[in-house]
Structure formats: structure tokens, C-alpha cells
């Protein structure tokens, strides 16, 4: 009887495993032959938001837009400053954070509507081993001096930079996930760890670990040696549903609350797949691993899910030494390389899909475009009507480098 029951349980387990496996949608990606198409077949609802011209705002090709609860925020990483505009493009304020020592950059926290600056104190020259020792003993008061934290409350119109006390969630790089749950997905290995067990992705409540996914050996896991890695999260528009991807894995997982299941598999040609020796044969040192990465730049490193609707899946692939953005068309089961999707006349020949400078807020995407590009287009195409929201701005003869925010959606 016990034998029959055991066989029954095994059969049920196999059935569940096969059922889960069959639900995984395969996306066949051939990087050298990824399809090309007109941009208007993928996106629509293109809208222009000219930003008020002011001497306070200086922009470079590295300036990108982020959408907060009430503002558009244009970052300038080189100048260590950011500029806030309201949602109609009116200038609000320029904020400089040059006085914050070290490489501190703002991260937007939607839950608190704050900009958070957090990192190591540049007064101290810390080695990677020093950092691990400090993080292992993060609760010790003597270790607080090694970290710096500041915030800007976007609910406060003064936008003052305030000094804050680092918390555990800052030090372990945890972020708000949902409800009262925080998540962390930083992966490290070191011989300094006394306990070998760790998880690639961890959930916390009230600073206490509650659940982990994908256990690994944090002392000597081969694929994670010499280089910290991290889990990638793709937020959806549905509460409690997110996409998760892991380093060196071709699976996109769907996470509902705290349950994870495989969702898509991005199938790459053998020439873009990591050899088995990468997972079984250790590198002698960091230099050898870095050389392997440089010499095999188009092997898979990680997949980064960006957005999905009923028709398309937009994702990025990080190869060992390259990046590419792709769009998978569900109906045709064809994967298109974003840089091969060309703007057409119905969208003013603008190339809106790229792997840099694109920001999403729910189902809307945003990117900046220099005013000069659009002015030049309309000068060459006198028969094309200028959109009403651009007409007054263009007639004001703005500097060619003035940014215009372009808002658009994927077709649904």
C-alpha cells in the first residue's frame, strides 16, 4: 500500500513538473537575424511635451527623463544635477548635488515620493573585502560611518537635501516590493562568509528574512566568483505581479505575491550560449574572468524584462560585453531587434525604441529628443502639419539642444 502511495506521489510530482514546463512560452532569438519593421506597427499615441526653456537647465546626450508622482525629472549624471518640470513641461527647479561627496546618485522611491542618495562614504578607501566585512556586521554602530544617505522629499516644495541615517534595507540594497515586504537581489561570493548558504533573491518584513529563492553557495559558487551580480525585476501594471530574471539564465519568471514560476524561455543559438565549462571550471582570478567576458562579448549574461501587453513583449538582453533591446511579437512569434525598427513618416521619422534613455510609467513610455531634430524635420517637410502641442514651442525659436519629452504607448 505504501509503495502504491509512493508511486502515486511521484506520478503527481512528474505531472505537475511537466505541466509547468509545458506552460513556458519559448521565444526564439537569433541576434544576427533579428527582424526589422516599421515603428508605427508597434507604437502609437505619440505625444510631445516641450520643456520650458531656461538658462538653469543644461542638457547633454546623457540626460534622461524619469517620471515621478508629480514631476518629470531630467537627470544629468555628469554635472551631478537634476531638473524638475511639472507634467505640462513648466520649469520647477534645478537641484545640484555636487556637494554630496562620492558617487551618490538619486534613486526615486515611489512609495515615499522621495529621491534617495545612498552609498559608501568616500572618506574611506574600502576594498571589496572591507565592504563585505562591514555589511556582515551592519548593525554595529561603528560601521555606520562607512555609509552616507540623503533624501529629497518631493512633497516639500523646498526640495531641500536632508541627511538621513542608513537603515538595514539600504545596506543590503533592499527595495520596497509590495505591502510591507522588501526584497533584495544582490548576489556575492567571498571566502569571508562563514555560512555558505544564501539565496539569490530574498524577501524581508520588519528587517527580518522571511523567504528566499534559488539557494547558492556564497563562498565559492563558480558563476558568481569575482563579480557581484543582481536579480532583475520587471514591474507590471497589475498589483502583486512582477517578472524576475537571474544572471546567466534564459528564463523569465512570473512572480505573483511570493510565488515564482517559469513564464518565458529566451532560446538563443549555441554561439550565444554559455559553455558548460563556465559553470563547472573555475577561473584562476578576476583578470581571467574579465578576459573571458571581453573575448566572448555576445554570450548570454542576463535578460531584463521591460514591458508586456497582449501583443508584445519588450525586453533587453545583456550579453557578456554588449546590450541589445528586442520586441517579441506574439501573433507572428517573431523577435525584432529594437535598433532595426525604424521610424516612419507617420511618426516624423523619430526612432523611439532604444536600449538607452527610455523610461516607463505604467503603460506609457518616455524619452527625450532634441528640439533641433524636430525643427529640422518640419523644415524639410512643409506639407506635414505640426502637432498643436509643438506649434507654439517651435515658433518661439528654441535652442536646438532644448529637450522635448516624447510620450508613447505600445499598440494593444
* pLDDT on residue 100: 87
| pLDDT score recorded for residue 61 | 62
What integer pLDDT is reported at residue 355 of this predicted model?
A: 63
**Whole-number Å distance between alpha carbons of 342 and 358:** 16
Cβ pair 374, 404 in contact under 8 A? yes
What per-residue confidence (pLDDT) applies to 20?
43
Angle subtended by helix axes 371-380 and 388-395, to nearest 10: 100
Q: Along the 412 residues of the chain, how does pLDDT read in single tens digits? A: 444 444 433 444 444 343 444 589 999 999 988 777 899 999 999 999 999 998 877 666 666 889 999 999 998 888 888 999 999 999 999 999 988 877 888 999 989 999 999 998 888 888 888 988 988 888 888 888 899 999 999 999 999 999 999 888 898 899 999 999 999 999 999 999 999 999 999 999 988 999 999 999 999 999 999 999 999 999 998 889 999 999 999 999 999 999 999 999 999 999 999 999 999 999 999 999 999 999 999 999 999 999 999 999 999 999 999 999 999 999 999 999 998 998 889 999 999 987 666 899 989 999 998 899 999 999 999 999 999 999 999 989 998 888 899 999 999 9
Is residue 19 exposed (0-12), middle (13-18) or buried (19+ Cβ within 10 Å)?
exposed
| Cβ-based neighbour number of residue 261 at 10 Å | 12
Per-residue pLDDT at 32: 87
Q: Say what the pLDDT of residue 30 is.
A: 92
pLDDT of residue 62: 61
Point out which residues pair with 303 in neighbouring strands.
317
Alpha-carbon torsion (187, 193, 194, 196), positive or negative: positive
Q: Please give the model's pTM, rounded to 2 decimal places.
A: 0.88
> Could you tell me which residues come within 8 angstroms of residue 284 by beta carbon, excluding any fewer than 6 positions away?
none
SS (H, E, C) the chain: CHHHHHHHHHHHHHHHHHHHHHCCEEEECCHHHCEEEEHHHCEEEEEEEECCCCCCCCCCCCCEEEECCCEEEEEECCCCEEEEEECCCCEEEEEECCCCCCCCCEEEECCCCEEEEEEECCCCCCCHHHHHHHHHCCCCHHHHHHEEEEEEECCCCCCCEEECCCCHHHHCCCEEEECCEEEECEECCCCCCCCCEEEEEEEEECCEEEEEEEEEECCCCHHHCCCCEECEEEECCCCCEEEEECCCCCEEEEEECCEEEEEEEEECCHHHCCCCHHHHCCCCCHHHHHHHHHHCCCCEEEEEEEEECCCEEEEEEEECCCEEEEEEECCCCEEEEEEEEECCHHHCCCCCCCCCCCEEECCEEEEEEEHHHHHHHHHHCCCCCCCHHHHHHHHCCCCCCCEEEEEEEECC
Phi, psi of 354 (to 5 degrees): -155, 180
pLDDT at position 403 is: 87
In sequence order, which residues have a C-beta less than 8 Å from that of residue 102 and are 6 or more positions away? 119, 120, 121, 122, 148
Q: Which letter, b or e, does each residue of 217-248 get, where b requires 16 or more Cβ atoms within 10 Å of its Cβ?
A: ebbebebbbeeebbbbbbebeeeeebbbbbbe
Q: What is the pLDDT of residue 216?
A: 97
Q: Which of 60, 44, 56 is nearest to 403 (CA)?
A: 60
User: Which residue ranges make up each domain of the chain?
Assistant: 2-410
Amino acid at each position: 500500500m505504501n509503495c502504491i502511495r509512493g508511486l502515486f506521489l511521484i506520478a503527481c510530482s512528474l505531472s505537475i513538473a511537466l505541466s509547468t514546463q509545458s506552460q513556458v512560452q519559448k521565444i526564439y532569438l537569433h541576434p544576427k537575424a533579428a527582424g526589422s519593421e516599421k515603428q508605427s506597427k508597434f507604437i502609437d499615441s505619440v505625444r510631445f511635451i516641450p520643456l520650458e526653456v531656461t538658462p538653469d537647465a543644461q542638457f547633454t546626450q546623457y540626460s534622461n527623463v524619469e517620471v515621478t508622482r508629480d514631476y518629470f525629472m531630467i537627470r544629468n549624471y555628469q554635472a551631478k544635477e537634476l531638473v524638475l518640470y511639472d507634467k505640462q513641461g513648466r520649469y520647477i527647479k534645478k537641484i545640484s548635488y555636487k556637494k554630496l561627496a562620492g558617487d551618490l546618485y538619486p534613486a526615486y522611491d515611489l512609495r515615499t515620493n522621495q529621491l534617495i542618495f545612498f552609498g559608501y562614504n568616500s572618506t574611506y578607501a574600502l576594498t571589496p573585502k572591507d565592504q563585505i566585512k562591514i555589511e556582515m556586521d551592519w548593525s554595529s554602530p561603528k560601521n555606520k560611518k562607512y555609509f552616507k544617505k540623503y533624501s529629497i522629499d518631493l512633497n516639500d516644495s523646498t526640495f531641500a537635501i536632508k541627511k538621513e541615517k542608513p537603515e538595514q534595507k539600504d545596506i543590503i540594497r533592499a527595495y520596497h516590493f509590495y505591502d510591507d515586504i522588501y526584497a533584495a537581489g544582490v548576489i556575492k561570493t567571498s571566502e569571508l562568509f562563514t555560512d555558505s548558504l544564501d539565496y539569490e533573491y530574498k524577501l524581508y518584513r520588519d528587517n527580518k528574512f522571511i523567504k528566499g529563492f534559488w539557494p547558492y553557495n556564497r563562498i565559492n559558487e563558480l558563476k558568481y566568483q569575482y563579480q557581484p551580480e543582481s536579480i532583475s525585476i520587471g514591474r507590471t501594471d497589475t498589483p502583486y505581479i512582477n517578472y524576475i530574471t537571474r544572471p546567466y539564465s534564459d528564463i523569465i519568471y512570473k512572480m505573483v505575491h511570493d510565488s515564482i514560476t517559469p513564464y518565458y524561455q529566451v532560446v538563443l543559438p549555441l554561439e550565444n550560449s554559455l559553455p558548460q565549462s563556465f559553470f563547472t571550471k573555475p577561473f584562476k582570478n578576476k583578470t581571467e574572468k574579465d578576459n573571458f567576458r571581453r573575448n566572448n562579448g555576445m554570450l548570454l549574461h542576463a535578460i531584463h524584462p521591460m514591458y508586456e501587453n497582449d501583443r508584445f513583449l519588450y525586453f533587453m538582453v545583456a550579453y557578456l560585453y554588449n546590450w541589445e533591446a528586442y520586441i517579441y511579437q506574439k501573433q507572428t512569434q517573431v523577435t525584432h531587434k529594437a535598433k532595426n525598427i525604424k521610424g516612419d513618416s507617420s511618426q516624423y521619422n523619430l526612432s523611439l525604441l532604444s536600449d538607452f534613455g527610455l523610461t516607463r510609467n505604467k503603460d506609457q513610455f518616455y524619452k527625450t529628443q532634441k528640439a533641433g531634430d524636430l525643427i529640422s524635420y518640419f523644415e524639410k517637410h512643409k506639407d506635414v502639419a505640426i502637432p498643436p502641442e509643438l506649434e507654439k514651442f517651435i515658433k518661439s525659436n528654441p535652442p536646438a539642444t532644448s529637450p522635448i519629452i516624447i510620450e508613447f504607448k505600445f499598440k494593444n
